[in-house]
Structure 1
């Protein structure tokens, strides 16, 4: 499959903040057939790049002192030509800054913000590192989805800050959903989660990974220490399951319908 084209405002990278990088590498390496490369400690803080078939698909980093109270989590990064300008724009549209823009030597620039509904999302301004090099095939990122408690505010935020051209897939009280782009060209989704997210769970992004066989992947993940939160079950888009990895980070898988 050709390298994905990462347009401005669209997801271009994912990474895992984990309390145990060795356990994470063992789990995802076995589940998704990933290999790993650890970056220079001084330049890159030991950031780990995950590869499938030699091409980058995700990152991992060890939680630092002071982050122990934060859950292990997968994060989505949206592409931008200017991380500092995007952060400024986000602040002007009711966003927050969690990590100020910072340069990653030779690779690019990153930041972490909270959108207008409190969901954390990363920014990536590419240098040499353009983003993940494989997508929508087994063991690679397949979809990115915001579950938000304030659907209207979220849609407006991503339109205003990231220039999203949104397409409404459904707008009923039972199911409100909009996408970045339309049809097969859609890059990400926004779901109204106000009816099901518990009060203590904030709005958040979720990452989907493609698999060849959802049921077999769930069985394998559980054997490696994962827990099943939901599914697997058929949907109009594929067979879905939600899991947590051995240290509690949530992710989704999607395969062909049975």
Structure 2
């Protein structure tokens, strides 16, 4: 696999996929809440795959949760793709550091991707595109602008991601009883945070919260988007609330059971 034109693209978030128990339901939900359009995209012969299209172009897709994942009890979930220079070389490092590899394959004319789990168990994907991927202004309506990892050991998790995708530690703040919140990013720009899960933290159905990622979508009017989401069947997990830096956020579960979050436009970081 050839490397991307710019090695500096390593560590970018370039695609966001929803693996859903009910793709049709998801297609009826998210366009109403965040304003995405949808369009079909043939991926590996799967005509059921549809793309999410924002104001700056495609940014992700939705497909059915794979049957093996369903059998293991996996709920609907969002999965981001992080760009790397070479998927196979990255996977060798993932394995060396104690992570797992679930999927590793080429998508004709699109690129090579792999679904992995970090050593604590959170799932994410790494991706080497066949061509350059356009950058989006994440402050605009409907764009993903923050990436949050809940895990059993955020320091160990950060060390893992720093090694495989080159993310940088950019600071932290004290959340009191919730512990330290580690801020990270690339090229000096914040992309998200990592937090060790407090003991006893539960999902709405009473299960322990597993190590997992939460992705935040920018909306110009948080209250209006929240009202649309709850009217369409979403459940509020946390918020709305103001976070350090002045943004307002709310964490939700969509009607199909996938967790996601909404945020007002990011301030300069």
User: Which runs of no fewer than 5 residues in structure 2 stay unpaired?
Assistant: 1-7
Which of 21, 31, 34 lines up with 1:32 in the alignment? 34
Q: Does 1:106 align with 2:109?
A: yes
Q: What is the aligned length?
A: 252
**For residues 131 and 118 of structure 1, do their structure 2 counterparts lie closer, same or farther at Cα, with a shift above 3 Å needed?**
farther
Contact 1:57-1:134 within 8 A present in 2 as well: no
**For residues 64 and 151 of structure 1, do their structure 2 counterparts lie closer, same or farther at Cα, with a shift above 3 Å needed?**
closer
Q: Does 1:83 align with 2:87?
A: yes
**For residues 245 and 129 of structure 1, do their structure 2 counterparts lie closer, same or farther at Cα, with a shift above 3 Å needed?**
farther
Contact 2:52-2:61 within 8 A present in 1 as well: yes
What is the 5 A alignment of 1:57-136?
57-68=59-70, 69-99=73-103, 101-128=104-131, 130=133, 133-136=136-139
For 2:22, the equivalent position in structure 1 comes to: 20
For 1:215, the equivalent position in structure 2 comes to: 223
Pairwise CA distance, 1:131 = 6.2
Contact 2:55-2:142 within 8 A present in 1 as well: no
For 1:56, the equivalent position in structure 2 comes to: 58
**For residues 251 and 128 of structure 1, do their structure 2 counterparts lie closer, same or farther at Cα, with a shift above 3 Å needed?**
same
User: Which runs of no fewer than 5 residues in structure 1 stay unpaired?
Assistant: 1-5
RMSD value, Cα:
2.5
**For residues 141 and 112 of structure 1, do their structure 2 counterparts lie closer, same or farther at Cα, with a shift above 3 Å needed?**
same
- CA offsets, 1:53-89, max 9 Å, x none? 3601221111233332320001122110111111110
2: distance between equivalents of 1:61 and 1:140?
A: 19
Contact 2:148-2:194 within 8 A present in 1 as well: yes
1: distance between equivalents of 2:195 and 2:134?
A: 24
Contact 2:49-2:63 within 8 A present in 1 as well: yes
